[in-house]
Amino acid sequence: MTPAKTQPERMFGVVVVGVGRAGSVRIRDLQSPQLPPSPLKLIGFVSRRELGNINEAKQISLQDALSSAEVDVAYICSENVSHEEYIRLFLNAGKHVLVEYPMALSLASAQELWKIAEEKGKILHEEHIELLTEDYAFLKNEVAGKQLLEGSVYFTGGPLEEERFGFLAFSSIARLSRLVSLFGELAFISATMEEQKENQYLKMTANLETVDKRPLTWIEERGPGLKREWHINFLFDSDRLESIPPPTQGHKNIFLRDQEIFVKKLLGQMSTEDLAKEKKHILHCLGIADEIQKHCQHLKKEGSSAGAEGTV
């Protein structure tokens, strides 16, 4: 085995695009010394607001970020509706991309972005911190070796505006990603969406099925005052799982762990099989989100035309 090197052989200049909650954590992580030393070096950040400097990181224009030879990597941490455009711009400028989930708001767009990344020979990494948490590790362990008979996941949280974050099945793809990681590929069966625009309230119910034709229901309820919580109910052949112990360490360093996975990809340390598996997982989840959205849009259209007929 080669001994751990103290200094990375090559450094990758990084620019962070979008300085909200996720972007700020990324900047903090990039500015914190790592052991072993990270091959990533923060060059600056891009924001629509005038933010000046954040510690030593300077604000740079999008054009400079795209054209600078110092920038090898872009972290896309802006709102979901802008992800696709930024990914396209940075990949075409010859940069590697790390994007906070979801990478795009349709399956077709994600497939296209992946094609560009492959043609350009660049890494396209979609962050999936939901698979790096303590509660997910608990679930993975609980589920191992058991046969699921039926299950549901019910998530509540504050409003997520569609204009900024996209259709709910995309903006909340973390739940779907966990279900797929726990129970394998899922088939879309049906979905409904309850919406009260004036109250910023949304409730999506998606009926899914495992390859063994076991029903899995995903409910996502969003509105002002709704606490960020998720409830599970998994009935197995052996027992039932209805609660997850609270994490002992909070969600510590999950963005940093995601970054470590990205670095492995940059350094060519992830196997082709693992890369292909991850890509398949991401596209599968985005494909289901796409089906949920199309189904709900279809129901909405049918509902409004039935309503229109009713008034004739």
- Which residues are near ligand NAD by CB under 6 A? 17-23, 47-48, 77-80, 82, 100-101, 129
The minimum distance between CB 40 and ligand NAD, in angstroms, equals 18
Write down the least CB distance from residue 225 to ligand NAD, Å: 19
The DSSP call for residue 80 is G
Residue in the shown chain whose Cβ atom is closest to ligand NAD: 20
* Alpha carbon distance 96, 73 (integer Å): 5
**Strand order of the sheet with strand 240-241?**
186-196, 201-210, 215-222, 148-157, 229-236, 240-241
Smallest separation, CB 165 to ligand NAD (Å): 6
- Which is nearer to ligand NAD, 20 or 184 (by Cβ)? 20
Q: Which is nearer to ligand NAD, 101 or 155 (CB)?
A: 101
Taking the complex as a whole, the smallest distance from the CB of residue 47 to ligand NAD amounts, in Å, to 5
| Closer residue to ligand NAD, CB minimum distance, 20 or 158 | 20
Residue closer to ligand NAD, measured from CB, 47 or 207: 47
Q: Is the peptide bond before 215 cis (omega within 30 degrees of 0)?
A: no
Q: To the nearest whole angstrom, how small is the minimum distance from the Cβ of residue 258 to ligand NAD?
A: 9
Work out how close the CB of 290 gets to ligand NAD at its nearest, in angstroms, rounded to a whole number. 17
Closest to 179 measured CA to CA, from 203, 150, 221, 159: 150
Nearer to ligand NAD among residue 127 and residue 207 (C-beta): 127
Q: Which is nearer to ligand NAD, 110 or 148 (CB)?
A: 110
Indicate the pairing of strand 57-59 with strand 53-54.
Answer: antiparallel
Q: How far apart are CA 112 and CA 88, in angstroms?
A: 9
Residue 252 buriedness (CB in 10 A; 0-12 / 13-18 / 19+) = exposed
In angstroms, the Cα distances linking 219 to 9, 222, 266 are 47, 10, 36
